[in-house]
Amino acid sequence: MLHMASIHVVNVSKRFGTALSSSLGEQQRQARLTGHPPRERTADDAPPQGEVLALDSVNLDVRDGESMVILGPSGCGKSTLLRVIAGLESYEGEVFYGDRNMRDVPPKDRGIGIVFQNYALYPQFESKGNLAFFFKMHKREEEINERVKQTSQIMGLGFEALLGRMPGTLSGGQKQRVAIARAICRDPRLLLFDEPLSNLDAQLRSSTRIEIRRLINRFAITTLYVTHDQTEATIMGDRLAIMDRGRVLQIGTYRDIYAQPASAFVAGFLGAPPMNLFEGSVEGNRIAALNTYLTPPPHVLDFVVRHQPITVGIRPEDIVVAASDSLDEGERENTLRTAFEFVERLPSDRAQLLHATIGETRLVVRTSLDRHIPLQTPVRLVLPMDRLYFFHAQTGMRI
């Protein structure tokens, strides 16, 4: 059994598709054999036609006992990363558990429990047989009854009643409980979840995610949890890794990433709704954006003078709707006039989202539900200077 359960993903890439002989992957493999360093990847090294670069030089460290969430849009490589870490896919680069390189360790010997979105129960075994399979495979049959009993206690009310049922007779939620039980039954050092809740209805999803978080806390098992659901991410993740197009863009707590997004992509992804983003260009020592002028901090102005245009961002909750009696105050910097088109009420958050369109830009403003703000009526919005974010328009990197 493995001792240390930290995970270290070092420069891992994964390509799917066409013949690899002409690709950089093959060069790297050969480099490893011959000892000659491969040339650095450049922006011109687009994958050959038909090839998918599912993981692009990914680095990730998960600490012993930590729960790390992999969050990103569909197709960004989350499942592939999880499968590489589990040993279910070939890859370039290295994966360590603790200080041990896992290249030649088969999945069944890694001390991991995996829960997949589609449950992946063995259809020919009843639930108990699903839990027991691992112990049969490892010739540890004598442990089965005790382990199943302990697991049932952990899984709580009503679980024992499922043990004699065949997967085909279980509801989605029941299958998921069996799948989770199967993963923890073997006393794993590492738990891997791939969107385990996405096939459940909203109510079951919210109760099951709390159940899973309790399990994670109780055992302090190192956990990797893949999702594209932000609520799940905040509950499950001590830290988050945000992915896009095969790359890990930023790693940190939800709070830190929310406050300090490294790029426009991350800013425009995290938050519900996410940050408002729009284009700005320099005029004198101000930035013209939307239908107003913004005063940027000096380092941003320096940057913009050299690299126009830039992307400006502000969170919906950071925009201030001025009191209606201040409408006549005339135009000032960092304020703009508009009218809201419609409102989205969020009673459970005691909030409302007000939507406006300024030129080509859709703007969302979040205020307290108590505030009465008329629609289709002129309003003045203030974009406080210390709440503005600035990003490089081409690379998306934060300035």
Binding-site ranges for ligand ATP (CB under 6 A)? 16-17, 52, 54, 72, 74-80, 228
* Residue 338, phi then psi, degrees to nearest 5: -160, -175
For residue 16, the partner it binds in Mg ion, ligand ATP, none, with Cβ less than 5 to 8 A by kind, is ligand ATP
Residue 80: CB minimum distance to ligand ATP, A? 3
Which of 386, 260, 270 minimizes the C-alpha distance to 319?
Answer: 386
Residue 79: CB minimum distance to Mg ion, A? 3
Residue 113: CB minimum distance to ligand ATP, A? 19
Ramachandran bin of 205, using left for φ above 0, alpha for ψ from -120 to 50, beta for the remaining angles = alpha
Neighbours of 140 (CB within 10 A): 13
Nearer to Mg ion, 83 or 175 (CB): 83
For residue 297, the partner it binds in Mg ion, ligand ATP, none, with Cβ less than 5 to 8 A by kind, is none
Residue 72: CB minimum distance to ligand ATP, A? 6
Residue 79 as a binder of Mg ion (CB under 5 A): the answer is: yes
Nearer to ligand ATP, 9 or 304 (CB): 9
Q: Residue 215 is encoded by which pair of tokens?
A: 């399990």
* Residue 130, phi then psi, degrees to nearest 5: -65, -40
Residue 388: CB minimum distance to ligand ATP, A? 31
Q: Are 48 and 212 in contact (CB under 8 A)?
A: no
State the number of binding residues for Mg ion (CB under 5 A): 1
Compute the distance between CA of residue 173 and CA of residue 178 in angstroms, rounded to an integer. Answer: 9
For residue 245, the partner it binds in Mg ion, ligand ATP, none, with Cβ less than 5 to 8 A by kind, is none
Nearer to Mg ion, 198 or 395 (CB): 198
Nearer to ligand ATP, 58 or 257 (CB): 58
Q: Are 391 and 264 in contact (CB under 8 A)?
A: yes
Q: Which residues partner with 69 through β-bridges?
A: 225, 240
Q: Are 93 and 9 in contact (CB under 8 A)?
A: yes
Residue 75: CB minimum distance to Mg ion, A? 8
Which of 108, 115, 116 minimizes the C-alpha distance to 137?
Answer: 108
For residue 173, the partner it binds in Mg ion, ligand ATP, none, with Cβ less than 5 to 8 A by kind, is none
Q: Which residues bind to Mg ion, rule: CB under 5 A? A: 79
